[in-house]
Amino acid sequence: MVLEADRLGKRYGSTWALRDCSLHLPTGRIAALVGPNGAGKSTLLHLAVGLLKPDAGTVRVFGRSPYGDTEGLADIGFVAQDTPLYRDFTASELVVAGGKLNKRWNAALARTRLAQLGIPPDKPVGKLSGGQRAQVALALALAKQPRLLLLDEPVASLDPLARREFLQSLMGSVAESGTTVLLSSHLLADLERVCDYLIVLNASQVQLTGTVDDLVAGHRQLVGPRHDGGAVGGVAAVIRASHTDRQSTLLVRTDGPVTDPAWTVREVSLEDVVLAYLADGTTKTSHSEWGVAA
């Protein structure tokens, strides 16, 4: 197990940014951490890389508690949101800097990658395009030859073409090394094609976690006559229900085949599943705060 969190929580003031977060990330997975903005994705990643100290529960990366653990940092590659780099450094200076800051450092790997991507070595990275800068940040993270690579919204600021290139080059390099990857995004569509494991975070809690195949296989859409809330054979839980006068559409988690002929059973896409979980319990009304009637 690469990453384990047990009832992990982090609080800013009186607000919990992450609460009761329990999850496991098995070795070798490319995991997508999906959730809307403010769901606690960055907080979880910062806890995993040891930037933050948990306020509740534990997080372990390769069996070690990452906060204050300098030794453990060698095994974790981290690219923070907006790929922050020293903007007045050139890409080649950053590669040198990485070498000074890390015991294990494959400068040749970084240089080869950056050469292949056509990144100019002697231009300050602040003058590169967003996509190029993200590639530099990724190359620096990979040069550590980490066993776990954490990427916080790596493609959020990139245009669609740069997104595809970034994810392609990421997949190309981790496929060879067997690195476990956890990358976050507020858009599943960005990551759907590359990930094989999914963690859905919403309102500071884990809503869903599992391999993509299991999640898709374990959920179905049922369309049938208006549903009164009674049990349906083969359905473990109704995740989301929408009703018209005569008809109900349910997204359900199944624990067996749904044989009731009243229901039309359809397969669902990963996105359908994620949206159903995100829609569940998201409406945090703030009518009173705005002083309007609910």
Partner 1 sequence: MIWLTWRQHRKQAFYTLLGFAALAAVLVPIGLAMRNTFSDLGLVDCVSQLARADVAQTTRETCDAGFRRFGNQYGSLNLVAVLLITLPALVGLFWGAPLVAREVEQGTHRFVWTQGVGRNRWALVKFGLVGAAVVILAAVYGLGMSWWVDPLNQAAHEGRLGMIVFDLQGIAPIGYTLFAVALGIFAGTVWKRMLPAMGITLAGFIGVRAAVEILARPYYQAARTKTFPIEGDGPPEVSRGDWILTQGVRNPDGTMIAEDTRIQCPPGGKGPDGRVCGAELGVEPGAYNWQLYQPADRFWLFQGIETGIFVALAVLLLYLAVRRIRRIA
Give the binding site for partner 1 (CB under 8 A). 46, 49-53, 68, 70, 73-74, 76, 78, 80-82, 84-89, 93, 96-98, 100-105, 137, 140, 144
Q: Please state the closest distance from residue 263 (CB atom) to partner 1, in A.
A: 47
Residue from 124, 66, 70, 118 nearest 92 by CA: 124
Q: Please state the closest distance from residue 106 (CB atom) to partner 1, in A.
A: 13
Distance (Å, rounded) from C-alpha 79 to C-alpha 279? 29
CB-nearer residue toward partner 1: 55 or 165: 55
CB-nearer residue toward partner 1: 148 or 239: 148
CB-nearer residue toward partner 1: 16 or 105: 105
Q: Would you tell me how many other CB atoms lie within 10 Å of the CB of residue 214?
A: 11
CB-nearer residue toward partner 1: 30 or 148: 148
Q: Please state the closest distance from residue 254 (CB atom) to partner 1, in A.
A: 40
Q: Please state the closest distance from residue 77 (CB atom) to partner 1, in A.
A: 8
CB-nearer residue toward partner 1: 50 or 154: 50
Query: Which whole-number Å values give the CA distances from 224 to 82, 215, 219, 265, 270, in the listed order?
Result: 46, 22, 16, 9, 22
Q: Please state the closest distance from residue 16 (CB atom) to partner 1, in A.
A: 15
- DSSP per position, 94-159: HHHHHHHH-SS--HHHHHHHHHHTT--TTSBGGGS-HHHHHHHHHHHHHHT--SEEEESSTTTTS-
